[in-house]
Amino acid sequence: RPTCSCALGFTGPNCGKTVCEEFCQNGGTCIVTAGNQPYCHCQPEYTGDRCQYYVCYHYCVNSESCTIGDDGSVECVCPTRYEGPKCEVDKCVRCHGGHCIINKDSEDIFCNCTNGKIASSCQLCDGYCYNGGTCQLDPETNVPVCLCSVGFKSQRCDQKENPCDHYCQNEGICTLTAFNEPRCKCSTNWSGTQCERPAPRSSKSDHISTRSIAIIVPLVLLVTLITTLVIGLVLCKRKRRTKTIRRQPIINGGINVEIGNPSYNMYEVDHDHNDGGLL
């Protein structure tokens, strides 16, 4: 099958189409290179290989409006909020977290800072820390950091601190006194105002000995009471036995002795009265 070798500026199976046909956009002028490729010369406001991009739209960051100098230089027309060669700088950054107010009449911005003042800019630490906190800028990140006064906490010192927070150590239990002061109840092995030091060994042995005394003393008293009751019962029984007194008379002028237990009663026998007489 025959093929066509096109002349410069033409293309297609039959060389019936020009190389520059509908190639350049937005009024760009097309020329053909030595390699039979199209090349566009764009109008000053446009750019791109086919002049398809509006210079102001792609060159200016926050604006679609610009002017083109005779030498082809581009100058962006920035909105009130932005500034810089390409409108790349946001003026509201100067407020550092304060409310940014755009004044269209003066084509500038004002800041309503966190401390309540209106100014062209705010300092990072202006009104940042509450309740008397001291603001410092982190040297590495340039972020404000608050050193809170006593009784307050959080990033901006806007929360009241609980006196018991992190006060007791080693699992001590914290309670507040009537004067809102923290007090720690330490576990067995710890002592100190904040349960910060180990409890002395003697205190543990004293505790054990105190418990032992509390157990031994009642036992001794109970044993003494039982012993006293037993002795009392024995004595009562002996007294009952001594009530029956046995008498054994002795004749021939002897002495009649009545023997009881535990005492002895002695009686003299009447010499005129005897049953057996003399042997």
Of the three residues 53, 83, 113, the one that is the final residue of a domain is: 83
How many domains would you assign to the chain?
A: 3
| Same domain, yes or no: 76 and 62 | yes
pTM for the structure as a whole? 0.37
Question: Helix, strand, or coil here: 237?
Answer: helix
Contact 64, 74 (CB under 8 A): no
Domain-embedded: residue 153: yes
The torsion angles phi and psi of 190, rounded to 5 degrees, stand at: -130, 155
CB count in 10 Å sphere of residue 47: 20
Q: Are strands 152-153 and 108-112 parallel, antiparallel or unpaired?
A: unpaired
| Same domain, yes or no: 193 and 146 | no
Domain-embedded: residue 253: no
Task: Walk along the chain (279 residues) and give the pLDDT tens digit of each residue.
Answer: 778 888 898 988 888 889 998 899 999 999 999 889 999 998 877 888 999 888 787 788 888 788 887 777 788 888 989 999 989 999 998 887 788 999 888 888 989 887 778 888 887 787 788 888 988 888 787 778 899 988 888 888 988 888 888 889 998 999 988 888 889 999 988 999 999 999 887 655 555 566 777 788 888 888 998 998 888 888 887 777 665 544 445 555 555 555 554 444 444 444 444 444 433
| Same domain, yes or no: 14 and 68 | yes
Alpha-carbon distance 185 to 175, whole Å?
A: 8
Residue 32, CB-side half-sphere exposure with 13 Å CA sphere? 12
Of the three residues 135, 161, 187, the one that is the final residue of a domain is: 161
| Same domain, yes or no: 135 and 192 | no
Structural domain span for residue 71: 10-83
Q: What is the CATH classification number for the domain harbouring 176?
A: 2.10.25.10
Of the three residues 59, 83, 107, the one that is the final residue of a domain is: 83
| Same domain, yes or no: 136 and 176 | no
| Same domain, yes or no: 40 and 73 | yes
| Same domain, yes or no: 195 and 140 | no
Which residues are bridge partners to 159 per DSSP?
153
Domain-embedded: residue 256: no
| Same domain, yes or no: 35 and 66 | yes
